[in-house]
Amino acid sequence: MTIKVNIDLERAFTVDADIDTVFLLLSDVPASAAYFPNVHKLTPLTENAYRWDIEKVAVGLHSIQTSYACEYHSDLATKTIVWEPIKDEGNALVAGKWELTELDKGTSIVFSTSAVLRLAMPGFLSMGIAPLVKFEFTGMVDTYLQNLKDAWEQ
């Protein structure tokens, strides 16, 4: 049986780095991905599309491995980066956006993402596993954002 776990996250924060520095890193997917924890492999599919394979994570007595692909679109004029899921690549669909706003000193950053993970597990586990999967996913995203903040604050 396949369990679907839906996750929606939004985070807003500011950094002292200027908007061009922030945009340059975030629009370079491999460079930005280096700050994301537990990435087993990032595979380029086309010039603007990548498959993410995340390391296996123990969730209770089970382990899960997430794999998904996204196509990325960076807009220098609006300072946004958008990613859209590529269907039939892996066991998740992930979409999201970075929105950057220049401040007098630094950059305001809004990160939003939504994911649908499809996990092969016994159905009776769905009630207990979904919250753990959301917790793990949220923790990885929060670590990613903190890693980026730390890089821009050096």
Average pLDDT in the 111-127 region? 81
Transcribe 38-65 into DSSP letters.
TEEEEEEEETTEEEEEEPPEEETTEEE-
**How many structural domains compose the chain?**
1
- What's the pTM value of the predicted model, to 2 decimals? 0.91
pLDDT tens column, 89-103: 999 999 999 999 999
Residues 40-87 have pLDDT tens digits of 999 999 999 999 999 987 766 767 889 999 999 999 999 999 999 999
Residue 120: domain span: 2-152
Amino acid 127: pLDDT: 66
Residues linked to residue 15 through DSSP beta bridges, in sequence order: 107
What does the pLDDT read at residue 60?
63
Residues 133, 137, 143, 148, Cα dihedral to 10° = 180
Q: Which CATH number covers residue 128?
A: 3.30.530.20
Residue 129 has pLDDT above 80, yes or no: no
The C-alpha atoms of residue 57 and residue 143 are separated, in whole angstroms, by 15
Q: Which of 27, 23, 57 is nearest to 39 (CA)?
A: 57
DSSP state of 106: S
Least confident of 11-15, 54-58, 111-115, 120-124: 120-124
